[in-house]
């Protein structure tokens, strides 16, 4: 069984559309949407949620006003400026301390140092994750609560579930739609996978982001291949990407032409390869043949 993860560094390079097509082309697999901040894959997979599970991301502190004596000790301990103070001239004449839940990292330092034990410390539900059925196989996806931290932890939960499912159902492939960037959720999405497919496009921005991402996959030593989307928007930069790939000894699995069929498919809530014949659909089929060989 292989874990194939599709990432892009820069957002909006067509990663999710591509994963949707790979879901239609590949066999015997489970899909995972690790872009938990902005999960879109389910929109083109015609999913039906079978199970919804709460995600406990961590803990958070809150001050019990009845017990608090306004001593102000906690304020000095919090390194995240999460503890706020309103003097008696604000808040309608009532002095008080309170905790900004978006800023609180759940470190418990204030909790330990409050002389009145006036700070509660509880687990926080910071999102939920779902197990869906789709015509293409099972889909594990999630929704991180707004303004929440710990997306990396949620990604790990999703990957673990997908692995479990793949074992139970004897699936051959775990197809992962990864998040943008190079930080915590990306690291959680790629570590330990079998193959990383980097989707880029011929723009200075996307190339810059790709280079940082390639440094990351090299850092973790994961086999990596490249896909150039919208390759005809700037043929010169496309050949620069190929040149770069050659230097790094990385395969370029596909070149997908800029094609309005990609947006049309999305509007029809379908993957590109299932929405009639188009240049992009043909390019994606060719790409999948290359990737299939690379991961088998």
Partner 1 sequence: MKIAIASGKGGTGKTTIATNMAVAIAREGRDVTYIDCDVEEPNGHIFLKPKIREQYDATVLVPHVDLNKCTLCGDCSAACEFNAIAVLGKTVEVFPSICHSCGGCSDVCPENAIVDIPRTIGHISHGDGMGVQFYEGRLNVGEAISPPVTKALRRLDTDSEVLIIDAPPGTSCPVIEAISGTDYVILVTEPTPFGLNDLKLAVGMVQEIGLPHGVVINRSDIGDGKTEEFCHRQNLDILMTIPFERRVAEAYSRGEMMSDVNSEYERRFWELYCSIAEKVSS
- Residue 106 engages ligand SF4 in binding (rule: CB under 6 A): yes
Task: Report how far residue 64's alpha carbon sits from residue 97's, in angstroms, rounded to the nearest whole number.
Answer: 9
In 97-150, where does DSSP find H-type helix? 109-113
The C-alpha angle with vertex 289 and arms to 197 and 287, in degrees rounded to 5, equals: 50
- Identify which of residues 99 and 196 has a Cβ nearer to ligand SF4 in the complex: 99
Min separation Cβ 141 and partner 1, Å: 12
- Residue 109 engages ligand SF4 in binding (rule: CB under 6 A): yes
| Interacting residue with ligand SF4 among 7, 18, 23, 78 (CB under 6 A) | 78
Instruction: Find out whether 280 and 32 touch, Cβ atoms under 8 Å.
Output: no
Min separation Cβ 8 and partner 1, Å: 8
- Residue 97 engages ligand SF4 in binding (rule: CB under 6 A): yes
**266 phi-psi bin (left φ>0, alpha ψ -120 to 50, beta other):** alpha
Map 185-227 to HEC letters. Answer: HHHHHHCCCCEEEEEECCCHHHHHHHHHHHHHHHHHCCCEEEE
| Binding partner selected for residue 12 from partner 1, ligand SF4, none, CB under the kind-specific 5 to 8 Å limit | partner 1
Closest CA to 13 of 187, 227, 244, 166: 227
| Interacting residue with ligand SF4 among 45, 119, 155, 252 (CB under 6 A) | 119
Instruction: Find out whether 138 and 51 touch, Cβ atoms under 8 Å.
Output: no
Task: Report how far residue 123's alpha carbon sits from residue 2's, in angstroms, rounded to the nearest whole number.
Answer: 34
| Interacting residue with ligand SF4 among 5, 114, 154, 250 (CB under 6 A) | 114
| Interacting residue with ligand SF4 among 46, 70, 156, 191 (CB under 6 A) | 70
| Binding partner selected for residue 222 from partner 1, ligand SF4, none, CB under the kind-specific 5 to 8 Å limit | none
**DSSP class of 178:** P
Options 100-108, 148-156, 194-202, 204-212: segment touching ligand SF4 (CB under 6 A): 100-108
- Residue 231 engages ligand SF4 in binding (rule: CB under 6 A): no
| Binding partner selected for residue 69 from ligand SF4, partner 1, none, CB under the kind-specific 5 to 8 Å limit | ligand SF4
Q: What are the residues binding ligand SF4 (CB under 6 A)? A: 61, 63, 68-74, 77-78, 80, 82-83, 97, 99, 104-110, 114, 116, 118-119
């Amino acid at each position: 069984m292989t874990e194939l993860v599709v990432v892009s560094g820069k957002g909006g390079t067509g990663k999710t559309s591509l994963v949707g097509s790979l879901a239609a082309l590949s066999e015997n697999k489970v899909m995972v949407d690790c872009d938990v901040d902005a999960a879109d894959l389910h929109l083109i997979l015609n999913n039906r949620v079978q199970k919804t599970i709460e995600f406990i991301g961590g803990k958070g502190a809150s001050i019990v006003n009845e017990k608090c004596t306004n001593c102000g000790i906690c304020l000095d301990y919090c390194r995240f400026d999460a503890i706020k103070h309103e003097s008696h001239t604000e808040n309608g004449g009532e002095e008080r301390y309170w905790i900004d839940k978006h800023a609180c990292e759940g470190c418990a330092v204030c909790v330990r140092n409050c002389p009145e034990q006036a700070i509660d410390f509880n687990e926080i539900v910071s999102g939920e994750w779902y197990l869906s059925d789709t015509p293409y196989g099972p889909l594990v996806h999630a929704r991180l609560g707004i303004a929440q931290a710990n997306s990396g932890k949620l990604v790990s939960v999703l990957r673990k579930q997908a692995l479990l499912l793949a074992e139970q159902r004897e699936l051959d492939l775990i197809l992962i739609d990864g998040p943008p960037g190079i930080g915590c959720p990306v690291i959680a999405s790629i570590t330990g996978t079998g193959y990383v497919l980097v989707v880029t496009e011929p723009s200075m921005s996307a190339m810059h982001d790709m280079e940082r991402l390639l440094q990351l996959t090299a850092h973790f030593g994961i086999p990596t291949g490249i896909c150039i989307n919208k390759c005809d928007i700037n043929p010169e930069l496309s050949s620069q990407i190929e040149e770069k790939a050659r230097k790094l000894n990385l395969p370029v699995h596909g070149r997908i032409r800029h094609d309005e069929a990609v947006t049309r498919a999305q509007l029809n809530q379908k993957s590109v390869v299932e929405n009639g014949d188009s240049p992009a659909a043909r390019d994606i089929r060719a790409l999948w043949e290359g990737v299939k060989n690379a991961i088998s």
